């Protein structure tokens, strides 16, 4: 493999993923893939810290205008390299995209309640409130009446439209670095992670922060592999424990992904919890099961069995 080939492929993949959602990020990622000097700088970062979302967010944190031309990103990366590197190393892509609830709520409706939710990689815990949102799944149906913001996902297939909002008796989660919705710096970083042109997502995030501030969930700081079982036991005192995660397991090294899959399989087999996963098609290969997943879609699964292909930010769900 030639020098920088892995980084080049990662940024080209990201450009394909961003196409149609962010012209700025698509342009930046393609330009990075062809810029030897920037690729050399990226190659000095640990592999899990080279991800485009994180690097672009760190550059924006240090003044790269977005939307804006690639030259602005390049100037910040190469001109403020040490400062950007410090931000990359200290922070993570805790996007906490509440729009994903539009793809998770139908799966939650398949689990008998009341539910006791355990989110893995909870960030600020914004996705722990599926009962506080209304939903639209055009063209198959909708669910209203919560009094909260409306989330929408374009739908194909026989989606099970929930007849009522989920009954949530308890909500908690684990994250290496839980974000406090009362901390202005943490909220500013969350806003900075929203892609440049996506003002609707930014406004949705602000409303989600307001929802979470009214009833902050229980968030534990630490490694998910160390805390999931304890949180499942705690949750079981309140309702049916449901461990769920979205765009999180990709940040684990491969051996830990295997450990996590084995742990969740064992917990489900023992009847201790249900498991909803929503990850990229290559992240949990035993869940994907060799099935052909459309490009740009996540594998949404219940208890290790795929039920839908979903857009990573919750814009669409193709029920199987």
Cα–Cα distance between 38 and 30 in angstroms, integer?
12
Q: What is the pLDDT of residue 222?
A: 93
- The confidence band for 37, taking pLDDT boundaries of 50, 70 and 90, is very high
161-177 tens-digit pLDDT? 999 999 999 999 999 88
- The confidence band for 21, taking pLDDT boundaries of 50, 70 and 90, is confident
Q: Which helix (H) or strand (E) holds 316?
A: strand 316-319
- The confidence band for 6, taking pLDDT boundaries of 50, 70 and 90, is confident
Classify 284 in phi/psi space as left (phi over 0), alpha (psi -120 to 50) or beta: beta
Q: What is the pLDDT of residue 5?
A: 65
Do residues 274 and 243 lie in contact, with contact meaning Cβ atoms separated by under 8 Å?
yes
Query: 185-222: buried (b, 16+ CB within 10 Å) or exposed (e) per residue?
Result: ebbebbeebbbbebeebbebbeebbebbeeeebbbbee
Q: What is the pLDDT of residue 4?
A: 54
DSSP labels, 51-94: -HHHHHHHHHHTT--SS--HHHHHHHHHHSHHHHHHHHHH----
Q: What is the pLDDT of residue 127?
A: 93
DSSP labels, 257-281: HHHHHHHHHHHHHTTS-EEEEEEET
Cα–Cα distance between 280 and 242 in angstroms, integer?
20
pTM: 0.81
Do residues 298 and 313 lie in contact, with contact meaning Cβ atoms separated by under 8 Å?
no
Does the structure show a pLDDT above 90 at 45? yes
76-114 tens-digit pLDDT? 999 999 999 999 999 888 777 899 999 999 999 999 989
- The confidence band for 3, taking pLDDT boundaries of 50, 70 and 90, is very low
Q: Which helix (H) or strand (E) holds 7?
A: helix 5-18
Q: What distance lies between CA 161 and its chain's CA centroid?
A: 23
Instruction: Please report the domains of the chain, with CATH numbers, ordered by start residue.
Output: 5-90 (no CATH), 98-319 (3.40.50)
Query: 229-268: buried (b, 16+ CB within 10 Å) or exposed (e) per residue?
Result: bebbebbeebbbbbbbbbbbbebbeeeebeebbebbeebb
The tokens describing 170, both together, are: 């308890």
Query: Residues 46-52: what's their mean pLDDT?
Result: 90
To which residue do tokens 């160390």 refer? 226
To which residue do tokens 């008796």 refer? 169
Does the structure show a pLDDT above 70 at 233? yes
Cα–Cα distance between 89 and 47 in angstroms, integer?
11
Q: What is the pLDDT of residue 179?
A: 85
Q: Residue 114: is the preceding peptide bond cis (ω within 30°)?
A: yes
Report angle CA 48, 50, 54 to the nearest 5 degrees: 95
Does the structure show a pLDDT above 90 at 11? yes
168-205 tens-digit pLDDT? 999 999 998 888 888 899 889 988 999 999 888 888 88
> Average pLDDT, whole number, for the chain?
92
Cα–Cα distance between 3 and 46 in angstroms, integer?
15
- Considering only CA atoms, give the Rg of the chain: 19
Backbone torsions φ then ψ of 294, nearest 5 degrees: -55, 145
Q: What is the pLDDT of residue 83?
A: 97
DSSP labels, 278-293: EEETTTSHHHHTT--P
């Amino acid at each position: 493999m030639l020098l920088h080939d892995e980084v080049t492929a990662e940024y080209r993949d990201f450009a394909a993923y961003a196409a149609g959602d962010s012209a700025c990020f698509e342009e930046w990622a393609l330009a990075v893939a062809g810029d030897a000097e920037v690729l050399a700088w990226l190659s000095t970062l640990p592999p899990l810290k080279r991800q485009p979302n994180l690097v672009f967010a760190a550059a924006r944190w240090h003044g790269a205008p977005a939307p804006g031309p690639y030259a602005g990103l390049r100037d910040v990366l190469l001109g403020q390299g040490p400062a950007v590197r410090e931000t990359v190393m200290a922070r993570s892509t805790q996007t906490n995209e509440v729009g994903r609830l539009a793809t998770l709520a139908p799966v939650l409706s398949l689990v008998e309640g009341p539910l006791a939710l355990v989110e893995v990689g909870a960030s600020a815990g914004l996705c722990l409130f599926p009962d506080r949102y209304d939903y639209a799944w055009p063209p198959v149906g909708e669910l209203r009446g919560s009094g909260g913001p409306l989330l929408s996902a374009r739908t194909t297939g026989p989606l099970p439209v929930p007849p009522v909002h989920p009954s949530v008796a308890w909500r908690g989660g684990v994250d290496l670095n839980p974000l406090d919705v009362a901390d202005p710096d943490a909220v500013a970083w969350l806003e900075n992670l929203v892609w440049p042109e996506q003002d609707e997502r930014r406004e949705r995030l602000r409303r989600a922060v307001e929802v979470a501030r009214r009833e902050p969930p229980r968030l534990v700081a630490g490694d998910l592999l160390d805390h999931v079982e304890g949180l499942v036991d705690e949750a079981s005192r309140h309702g049916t424990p449901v461990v769920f995660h979205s765009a999180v397991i990709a940040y684990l090294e491969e051996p830990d992904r295997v450990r996590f899959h084995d742990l969740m399989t064992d917990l489900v087999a023992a009847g201790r919890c249900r498991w909803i996963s929503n990850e990229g098609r290559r992240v949990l290969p035993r869940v994907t099961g060799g099935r052909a997943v459309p490009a740009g879609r996540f594998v949404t699964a219940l208890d290790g069995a795929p039920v839908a292909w979903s857009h990573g930010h919750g814009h669409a769900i193709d029920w199987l």
